[in-house]
Amino acid sequence: MPEAVLVARNLTKQFSVDRPPAVNRVSLDVFRGEILSIVGPNGAGKSTLLQILLGLLTPDEGTIRIFGVDIVRHRRKVAHLMNYASTDLSLPYSLSVRENLEVYALVYDLPDPGQSVREMLERFSLQSLAKTKVGKLSTGQIARLSLAKALISRPEILFLDEPTATLDPEASAEFRSVLREQVESNHLALVYTSHNMREIERLSDRILLIESGKTVACGSRDDLYHHFDCDNLEEVFLKSMARARQSRENGELVHE
């Protein structure tokens, strides 16, 4: 059994007493060498859940541990084990590829920043672009640089929020291939969000479905196919969300 990097139990976050919790008693595990994708409609609580898992929001209830350390109480002890990347995080366009990586190597106070930069340039096939300004890169090249930036600190767990939202199909396929290689070769634990069902289907080891802040189902692609009697993730998503909404209207707890 792979080692659990992150263990979260009964996470709950409510921003207003007049509204239901944004996250409602969600539990999950993330293991080494695994991609766990979080899927749900807009407003389902995905962003709030990610912020809680990163230690940027404090849950009202529940616990999150990374290698057994409670990140709510001791985030500084484990902050270096996590990193995050999103399409919303822009890179300084006036800096070159190498300069961007050098900045982050210094931010993370790496013991040998020069070596770390060289490793990232090689690992993500960016050597020929090292002197190129970010503003002149393609969206696919920027995505590779963003991933290199996120991994230069050698995190144990990486959170990616809609990383391919701006990529064309060819660049998305290249990104998925590079990402899978990094997860497997470095035994990285990865938490991933996307609205692209085909991408989630191809990339994920396990999928967590949430709706209105609650867990609807969690399992491998084949587990979900079997559970919802479907043969593709889009059907699973539509059927699971419809079932969750019906259960909510009936006043039932949604947790399968």
Residue 114 neighbours by CB under 8 Å, 6+ apart = 105
Helix spans in the chain (H): 46-53, 71-78, 97-107, 113-123, 139-151, 169-186, 197-203, 221-228, 233-249
What domains does the chain contain, in order, with CATH numbers? 4-249 (3.40.50.300)
Distance CA(1)–CA(114), nearest Å, equals 36
Residue with tokens 């080891």: 205
The pair of three-digit structure tokens given for residue 45, joined into one six-digit string: 């609580």
Helix (H, G, I), strand (E, B) or coil at 235: helix
pLDDT, one tens digit for every residue, the chain (256 residues)? 688 999 999 999 999 999 999 999 999 999 999 999 999 999 899 999 999 999 999 999 999 999 999 999 999 999 999 999 887 667 888 999 999 999 999 999 999 999 999 999 999 999 999 999 999 999 889 889 999 999 999 999 999 998 888 888 888 888 899 899 999 999 999 999 999 999 999 999 999 999 999 999 999 999 999 999 999 999 999 999 998 888 777 765 444 4
Helix (H, G, I), strand (E, B) or coil at 12: strand
The string of DSSP codes covering 110-179 is -SSHHHHHHHHHHHTT-GGGTTSBGGGS-HHHHHHHHHHHHHTT--SEEEEESTTTT--HHHHHHHHHHH
Distance CA(157)–CA(225), nearest Å, equals 27
pTM here?
Answer: 0.91
